[in-house]
Amino acid sequence: MTGGLYSRLIIACAILLSVLLTGLGIVLGQFFPLFSNESGLDLQRKYWLFLIVTLVLAFVLAFFIATRMMLQYARPIDQVTKTAVQIARGDYLARTQTDEFEFDNELAVAIDKIGNNLQEMSMLRTMEKERLKTLIESMGSGLLMFGREGSVNLLNGVFEKTFGFSKSEVIGKTFKSIGLPTDIENLIEEVFMTEQVHEKQVRVDVGGVSSYMSVYGAPVIGHHGNWLGIIVVLHDITKLVQLEEVRKDFVANVSHELRTPVTSIKGFTETLLDGAMEDPVILKEFLGIIQKESDRLHYLIDDLLALSGMERDGFSLQFTAVNLNAVIEDAIRGVSGKLERKSMDVLVTIPDDFILEADADRLIQVMVNLLSNAINYSKEQTKITVTVKKRQDDAVIEVRDEGIGIAQSELPRLFERFYRVDRARSRESGGTGLGLAIVKHLVEAHGGTVDVKSVMGQGTAFQIRIPMQQVEKQSV
């Protein structure tokens, strides 16, 4: 309604002006007889004529003035007022369009500028809001925010997924009524109570799955230092915790593996020094044991160094054209002593001059480990067969024995470091528990795979697949 206020005022003024002019005409009409010597009807006619002319003139004048004023002032002001109201209501695209008016449009320019500025600010705000929303949704951690009054006012997708909540279930609720794990509830409570940052690691069990979270809670403080609520960030550290477990296990295993031969060596040496060395038979027997245990220590340290070398950054293989026939011969030569001791034979089936791109020394290491196991876990006088075939772009090498076999349930863990099916037997045969872990590492460094099939009591077959050509130099 404000839109036409000035126009209506001007119309009212024009009417008032007409009335005033007409009134003036009537008043002036009263002096008519004074200036005329006519009387009666003629005078009255002239009087009316004068009145009508005055009236018409008054209306024409008022109309002219009103139109000029309307065009020049009232309509632009009404238009500017209308635009200002539109902008105030949030329509930042509204503009005065005052170009069509003959009007000193400083006000209109200012209003348009305000509109422009507000539109830009609103665009920036929308962009920032979008950016923040994208950031919150794509940050790999769960996020939960509580307002000053203690109820949830924001959560992201990761949080919903972690706890199986939906936004509509959680928004507006207090932290105690969401159903969060107790440790997280306690942390939130501490942040609310102390208005300080709190951080802890918690174990979360959701839907039968356990995971570890690093939970960080902090008060949200506004620009003027006023307290706006709290924010809780949950970061999944399950993988880190598992890695830490593996590391701890590894250190414990290494310590245990090293301690056993060292204890043995120490014990036998002390017994010898205490007098047992006077007996040449016992001396020979104990020195034999000491030698065996030191060999074991030596193998263990060698394997540990090999593994840690492979796991170090920058480990790379030396790829050349390798004759696999020669590699297998070298490996068999390497285990010939063991083969002889158990009267075992290796039967090799391989096409002549089988050439592939590989690291010869590492491939020999792989074959020695597999052949050693085949010997260690087989009875005397049994046979080992090594078969090499080319399948598509891969070389497939199979090492099959007629040994004790491995239960199906053991197969998934076989390539783990220090995993042994029969600890005593492995120890007896001088095994370190690292052989297959090394095999897997080296085969994968060649871009290949290793597979195992076994039947208890009948034997085991390890199958390696390695690309004939390396696409690019592999490194682990």
Residues in contact with ligand ADP by the rule CB under 6 A: 373-374, 376-377, 401, 403-404, 406, 414, 419-422, 426, 431-437, 460
Quote the least distance from Cβ 309 to ligand ADP, whole Å: 17
Quote the least distance from Cβ 373 to ligand ADP, whole Å: 3
Quote the least distance from Cβ 413 to ligand ADP, whole Å: 9
Q: Which is nearer to ligand ADP, 75 or 441 (CB)?
A: 441
Q: Which is nearer to ligand ADP, 62 or 414 (CB)?
A: 414
Q: Which is nearer to ligand ADP, 180 or 332 (CB)?
A: 332
Written as six digits, the tokens of 215 are: 């939970």
- In whole angstroms, how far apart are CA 170 and each of 174, 235, 389? 8, 19, 61
Q: Which is nearer to ligand ADP, 156 or 432 (CB)?
A: 432
Quote the least distance from Cβ 251 to ligand ADP, whole Å: 18
Q: Which is nearer to ligand ADP, 115 or 403 (CB)?
A: 403
d(CA 228, CA 235): 23
d(CA 235, CA 199): 11
Written as six digits, the tokens of 183 are: 């440790």
Quote the least distance from Cβ 324 to ligand ADP, whole Å: 21
Hey, which residues does 213 pair with through a beta bridge? 202, 236
CB neighbour list of residue 185: distance below 8 Å, 6 or more residues apart: 175, 176
- In whole angstroms, how far apart are CA 103 and each of 63, 75, 422? 20, 10, 101
Q: Which is nearer to ligand ADP, 76 or 459 (CB)?
A: 459
Quote the least distance from Cβ 472 to ligand ADP, whole Å: 29
Quote the least distance from Cβ 131 to ligand ADP, whole Å: 52
387 and 350 in contact (C-beta within 8 Å)? yes
Q: Which is nearer to ligand ADP, 25 or 403 (CB)?
A: 403
Q: Which is nearer to ligand ADP, 156 or 426 (CB)?
A: 426
Quote the least distance from Cβ 374 to ligand ADP, whole Å: 5
Q: Which is nearer to ligand ADP, 32 or 299 (CB)?
A: 299
Type of residue found at 177: S
Quote the least distance from Cβ 344 to ligand ADP, whole Å: 12
d(CA 312, CA 307): 9
Quote the least distance from Cβ 236 to ligand ADP, whole Å: 32
Q: Which is nearer to ligand ADP, 72 or 429 (CB)?
A: 429
d(CA 177, CA 238): 26
